[in-house]
Amino acid sequence: MSDASSPMFPETRGRDRGYDKVAVEEFLARARAAFEQADAGLSSADVRAVAFPLVREGYAIAAVDAALGRIEDAFALREREAALSSDGVEGWVGRTRETAQVVLDRLARPRGHRFRRVGLLRYGYRVDEVDLVADKIARYLEDGSPVSVEQVRSVAFRMERGGYHEGQVDAVLDAVVEVMLAVS
């Protein structure tokens, strides 16, 4: 735990919510121990998927998310090095290419039909916004158009009734981040 006089991250004030300090600090301690011990119990995907409760007077979300991005990068680099040493370049490239192709196949679907839709009475991600990002990602995967890992990590969509299923969209974005980290 951090000392109350010197917080790990900037803190929110007033009505603003931030990440629960204890949850953040516990996860960071776990991540540090796993990384230092080369523990396979925690991966870059685990870092990418972690979620913290939102509370008043918590840690500023942007600061924690930026730190998590750096931690994810470190885990991904280690995972890439391990895969290269065990499977060789061809195996690693083959898996990365396969994942990229699965994403491209999904994004090649017609606009408005790339992901499963939620029911008309439920809220999902706005279809037009997701399709716009999907087009940009497809261009990146096809011809190397500029897109950064941070842009993919920080993308946020508004909600609409009958929108795209959040879980499916998030899974594809996670796969894109995985591919980007594998080739960076």
78-84's contacts with Cβ under 8 Å and 24+ in sequence apart are: 78/35, 78/38, 79/43, 79/44, 80/181, 80/182
Q: 75-130: per-residue pLDDT in tens? A: 888 888 888 788 777 877 788 889 899 999 999 999 999 999 999 999 999 999 99
What's the DSSP call for residue 115? S
The pTM score is 0.71
